Homo-oligomer: A and B are copies of this chain.
Amino acid sequence: MKRRSFIKKTTAAGIAASLPVGLIGYSDNVREKARIALIGAGLRGCSHLRNLLLRTDIEITAICDINQSRIDIAQEMIVKAGYKKADVYTGSDLAYLDLLTRKDVDGVIIATPWLWHTRMAVDTMKAGKYAGVEVSAATTLEECWDLVNTYEETGVPVMILENVCYRRDIMAVLNMVRQGMFGEILHGRCGYQHDLRQVLFNDGKTNHGPGVEFGKKALYEARWRAEFSLKRNADVYPTHGLGPVATMMNINRGNRFISLSSFATKARGLHEYIVNHPAGGQSHPNAKIEWKLGDIITTTIATSNKETIIVTHDCNSPRPYSLGFRIQGTKGLAEFDMHTRRIYIEGVSPQGHVWEEMDSCLEKYDHPLWKKYSDLATGSGHGGMDFFVIHAFIEIVKRKEQAPLDVYDAAAWSAVTPLSEMSIAGGGELQLFPDFTRGRWINRRPVFALIDDY
């Protein structure tokens, strides 16, 4: 099969869905440069911008944000990198729609508050431009379907920019999984265990730390993210953990999520934070708020291949950061986070029933992508993984190829938010996953990070 064999764009969706995604392009015309627009120039958007500007195969033709100070910061970055200023779209929440009418945009990176992800990705696809959308991609099942249906109607790829899939240890473990080191995979654990209280609140002037304000009185993520703790009792941020495990279990590619059950603890963390904060206290207006999001959300997912996955959301309590990964198969298992990395493989580990440190394994099974690009990745953000997620997006835009983390991944991973919410509302009631691939998962083949290309 020719790597970039020509497929007419009008039939792309139908064919792409039945062929190994990522190995098929739309056209022989490879772009030398990807012309990128950025919707959302906040902290995350500018982090992506920094990585984009380190490359020589991009142009930033347009940026969009409702906040002038963020536009100024982005423009300064662009100019400092030796590029000419981007055209600016601002002034209203819907200014991005004008940006999408431009002819000189091949791909759009969407790094906005969560409630904008799906609609912007949908509009981007409809405009015929590659959409790179930050996590989560969707917050309701309807939005998950919007992504899928728009992709299938337009044939334009959307990539979920799940950076943790590209973490060096994750990719080494993926490599080990694919080489059969763990045997047949049985079980995974993952999640987002990250004390975000200083992210959810600030004083409206300074990020990260001072103040107990959120919403319109706050800046940055506190301006919109705390609302999800206020209004929703769900795993509101499932993909950092689930994405990596999904790639290891070939979800949507010979396997799929079947069902889940979710449980929430009581909600105490944010109230206690406000009450105990120097800027807060019992008499602070926010001390009266009842937060809906349980402090710890536990979700168990069953797959069609009869694996199970535990996904944790734990962001409103004091705790060290930990994604809490485990991957376990018939021959052994690995457990790792920033602080502990241990592995046991029967017949390989030097001593029976005794853990090994993972360091030598991580080195030995270092993924080809990391071997090739570690120099470029180093310092790119979040331990280097941010380089790879942008690299992959730029490469598919240039080559007009399918996304390695595609619309079905975006939908299935993000669906954990609404499904966990319904399960929790039913006290742990079982929920079934929609099959976003419409049955095609049975013959879709794995594409993520197969080689050292992107």
A residues within 8 Å of B by Cβ? 183-184, 186-187, 195, 258-261, 263-266, 268-269, 272, 294-296, 298, 300, 302, 305-308, 310, 314, 317-321, 328, 330-333, 339-340, 342, 344-346, 353-355, 426-430
Q: Is the CB of A300 within 8 A of B298?
A: yes
Q: Is the CB of B295 within 8 A of A261?
A: no
Q: Is the CB of A265 within 8 A of B318?
A: no
Max chain B C-beta neighbours (<10 A), residue from A263, A331, A345, A430? A263
User: A302 is contacted by which of B183, B263, B354 (Cβ under 8 Å)?
Assistant: B263
* CB of A136, distance to nearest CB on chain B (Å): 22
Max chain B C-beta neighbours (<10 A), residue from A302, A319, A342? A319
Q: Is the CB of B318 within 8 A of A296?
A: no
Contacts of A354 in B (CB 8 A): 320
Q: Do A296 and B328 form a contact, CB below 8 Å, given A186-B266, A320-B355, A339-B342?
A: yes
Contacts of A318 in B (CB 8 A): 330-332, 344-346
Q: Do A427 and B430 form a contact, CB below 8 Å, given A296-B308, A318-B332, A339-B342?
A: yes
Query: Chain A binding site: helix, strand, loop or mixed by DSSP?
Result: loop
- 29 residue pairs of the A-B complex, CB under 8 angstroms, read A183-B272, A186-B317, A187-B265, A187-B295, A187-B296, A261-B261, A261-B428, A261-B430, A263-B300, A263-B302, A264-B306, A264-B308, A266-B306, A296-B328, A298-B308, A300-B300, A302-B427, A302-B428, A318-B330, A318-B346, A319-B328, A319-B333, A319-B353, A321-B353, A339-B342, A339-B355, A340-B342, A427-B430, A428-B430
Number of copies: 2
Q: Is the CB of A265 within 8 A of B427?
A: no
- The answer for the CA separation of A151 and B23 in the assembled complex, in Å, is 68
Contacts of A314 in B (CB 8 A): 187, 328
Q: Which 4 pairs across A and B sit closest by C-beta, in order of nearness?
A: A318-B346, A266-B306, A261-B261, A186-B265
Q: Is the CB of A259 within 8 A of B430?
A: no
Q: Is the CB of A328 within 8 A of B317?
A: yes
Contacts of A258 in B (CB 8 A): 427
Contacts of A266 in B (CB 8 A): 186, 305-307
